[in-house]
A and B are shown apart, each in its own frame.
Chain A
């Protein structure tokens, strides 16, 4: 694995920070302000995409800026794992930007400048997390992401939103201090914090240290990835505007936590030591329980966004559970599910947003017959729901296939059962909405029609992506290849 010097990783981080500066220029027309967001999103995606060919060949663009602590530099490196996250987040930001414009003008929301500015900072931080070359760099961007999301959570400024913001901070900042502890402990144990496939801890380390470090990572990354019982900030944060829930609470923020686990397990502690210590079993237990409990809670939610939030909680644990199994198949499945879940869940949130803007309805029980009035929206919703339930040929099937295969490889029969059972529950709580929307007799005969094109086109596109990623997982942008590269580099092909 080679690296070469390139400014691109830095540009990918900075382009949306620059946009933030332009967005907050006072007294500009909304169209001008939004054009900065769109341009930054397109530029960011183009930069990330331009790094894909060399990353696929195992040649990683990297840049070391300066020392941020003696012996530790602020450094970015785009490896296969990083670009999976970077590519999906930057692509979905473009669509979310268009959707956001439609949404905030459709509702209409107040303080839109703050909204778009915070959003841009969040994306910078997300890229920083994806491309961080060492744990300290990752922690810096991780904390920036925590703070930059706060204004979006409290955006509505209702007592409910303020409460959601408080809860968000309590959970996330607590996770942050455990992360600082984990970072310091990593540094003291191994003398470095640079990510390396297979881990950086010295081989002769005591098992107690490994277990302690792993628990610290669990307490920190577990918060953002909403592993029960650290999850309850996520449903509360659904008080944020829907595009925020879509991109941040289904893609960027929560996936940053999941991504953190990938770095911690694969690139800091290392699968060999983790397997030896047996600590992964703790996390496997929590995540398996999370998958089932979250699905059961989701069934009981009448608020659509809450139902989607609990579905997110469950699917995040799919990914983390896949990683704890330490087998190549499960890792491929987990990494693919980062992308696949992102694409599917953002579709569902977009649909919820479109429905809300058009009808101001938030409850599942009020959606009878809505499919006949908003056929494209509900069609996309159905497609994504099928994917989350694991029905081929949608992309959710692919990742679940590898996850189940990986659990058989590792001899974890119970985990395979968890995945299959949860697929059924997913179908239950998501497809029931489809049934209601298309087939239930409508109790209101108001004609609504589709939302504006700014909203419908993005959600149709993400639904199309889920289909394409399901049909051609090994085609452009080669997520399957990237995921297997990561799995091979971390687990050395055979697995444990």
Chain B
């Protein structure tokens, strides 16, 4: 059944409409419908990855039209990996109660779950499509959904969302222009087809321009330094549940597009030697890791700290792409998975703290560790993983990235990864210290705080336990899923 790819997408699109419709009547029903949709998609995505592992690439021609005439959907190791992450984190976010995730229950008529499912549909669409233009369509679907979702965070979020909208549209236009150049040069939009027809055209200025436009567009979308300027506002003013999704899976999809371009549509050598794409991305990422970490240290607001941390963490993924050797790219791709779990977990904790205490500034968190032991245990696991303490997943991303950097003889990158571990430790242990070691100052908000309800707690703890499991089984993920992906690299 090669249609598994479309079966991940179908429930998301379908239930995006169903939830919106029933949501007009009862928000509670929209919540249930959204969970059903996500569970169906999760089943399809899990089945998809098992099929890919046993049979290899699955191709599906929409409407039975073979390429290059019709649109093709492809489920290979990389897209099945990404789709599973998106759907899993999506489900966690949907389960998380909106009163904590959005600060308040949204007004009737605001299609919260419809937008969320549309966002996930767009993200899944980007990773499973085998068509360059279709990718742009899904890119716009998820972007539009995310602009709307960010505005739910309040007045400042509206401004942040507008800024993001402008930059996001520029990024989308860059991508579209790039695809246009490819289309004019090759006469096809199908990725596999374009890959073959592009080889003799590698010297063409139009193709080079296409690569530059697409890569710059995607670097804006993934907020790679110095194109990150939209991210800190958008992610810190967005409500926690939305920020969890945006930081956990949305920006990583742009990184996926770059990897897809490098590995599938072009030959890796073209990105490494002919054009200095990976070199540029690698050095942008190296600076970004340090910049993001230093900026995170300077923040008092928990979510803003997380947002700057995202700038640094997404640069790890960029660093893996920039290294462009098997171990380095494995580190980058594994970090997509690990970062999805860690950062979503942390934003959901931010939501839980805000909901139970109304607090959002780290200096006022003193003493919270004893009031909410389980939620803060979840936070601590995620924070240790961000720092890179084994056996959590975060350690192993760094392990592969360091191995890749040594392979590339790039000692500066080794230094950057190691230094950033310490910088990350500074801003997370500062908070751990506040939570557990600094006695409560008698702040009423802290004194009256209690452990949140299971609906808030369970998603956080699932992610926290997942972080440890991901660390322990990382060898399986690497050998089974990621090694086939990076096999194309020299």
Instruction: Say whether B425 faces chain A, with CB atoms less than 8 Å apart.
Output: yes
Q: Which residues of A contact B419 (CB under 8 A)?
A: 177
Q: Does A151 contact B (CB under 8 A)?
A: yes
Given A67-B476, A188-B407: A144 and B418 interface contact (C-beta under 8 Å)? no
Cβ 8 A contact of B438, one of A162, A169, A177, A183: A162
Assembled-state Cα–Cα distance A140/B390 (Å): 5
Question: Closest CB-CB distance, A63 to chain B, in whole Å?
Answer: 16
Known: A68-B474, A178-B418. A151 touches B399 (CB 8 A): no
Q: Contact check, A69 vs B478: say whether CB atoms are below 8 A apart.
A: yes
CA distance A69 to B472 in the complex (A): 9
A50 within 8 A of partner (CB): no
A174 lies within 8 A of chain B by Cβ: yes
Distance in angstroms between the alpha carbons of A157 and B434 in the assembled complex: 10
The answer to whether A70 touches B390 (Cβ under 8 A) is: no
Instruction: Give Cα distance in the complex from A299 to B387, angstroms.
Output: 39
A427 contacts the other chain (CB 8 A): no
Contact B399 A69 (CB under 8 A): yes
Query: Does A180 lie at the interface of the complex (its beta carbon under 8 Å from any beta carbon of B)?
Result: yes
Given A154-B437, A165-B433, A70 and B418 contact (CB-CB distance below 8 Å): no
Contact of A157 among B398, B402, B438, B474 (CB under 8 A): B438
Q: Which residues between 403 and 461 of chain B lie within 8 Å of chain A, taking CB atoms?
A: 403, 406-407, 414, 418-419, 421-422, 425, 429, 433, 436-439
- Cβ of A185 under 8 Å from chain B: yes
Nearest A residue to B418 by beta-carbon distance?
A177
Q: Which residues on A sit within 8 Å (CB–CB) of B391?
A: 68, 140, 144
Residue of A nearest to B370 (CB): A111
Within the complex, what minimum Cβ distance (angstroms) separates B44 from chain A?
A: 29
Shortest Cβ distance from residue B412 to the other chain A in the assembled complex, whole angstroms: 13
| Given A140-B391, A180-B402, also A169-B425 (CB < 8 A) | yes
| Complexed CA–CA distance, A139 and B388 (Å) | 12
Does residue A293 face the partner (Cβ distance < 8 Å to B)? no
Count B interface residues, CB 8 Å: 34
The answer to whether A177 and B422 have CB atoms under 8 Å apart is yes
Complex: how many Å from CA A72 to CA B399? 12
Q: What number of A residues sit within 8 Å (CB to CB) of B?
A: 32
Q: Does B341 touch A at the CB level, under 8 Å?
A: no
Whole-angstrom CA separation of A157 from B366 in the bound complex: 12
Q: What string of 1s and 0s marks CB contacts (under 8 Å) between B12-32 and chain A?
A: 000000000000000000000
B433 close to A166 (CB less than 8 A):
yes
B222 to chain A, nearest CB (A): 26
Q: Does B287 make an interface contact (CB < 8 A)?
A: no
Q: Kindly state whether residue B396 has any CB partner on chain A within 8 Å.
A: yes
Closest to A24 in B: B373
When distances are taken between beta carbons in the complex, the residues of chain A under 8 Å from B422 are: 173-174, 177
| Given A162-B433, A181-B418, A184-B399: A70 in contact with B479 (beta carbons within 8 A) | yes
Decide yes or no: A143 and B389 within 8 Å by CB, A157-B438, A177-B421, A177-B422 being known contacts. Answer: yes
Closest CB of chain A to B411's CB: distance in Å?
A: 10
Residues A181 and B414 in contact in the complex (CB < 8 Å), given A66-B475, A68-B474, A173-B421: yes
A188 and B406 form a contact (CB under 8 A): yes
A289: CB under 8 A from chain B? no
Q: Using a CB–CB distance below 8 Å, which chain A residues touch chain B?
A: 66-70, 72, 139-140, 143-144, 146-147, 151, 154, 157, 161-162, 165-166, 169, 173-174, 176-178, 180-181, 183-185, 187-188
Apart from the given pairs A69-B474, A72-B475, 11 other A-B contacts in the complex at a CB distance below 8 Å: A68-B472, A143-B389, A162-B433, A162-B438, A165-B433, A165-B437, A176-B421, A177-B419, A178-B418, A180-B399, A188-B406
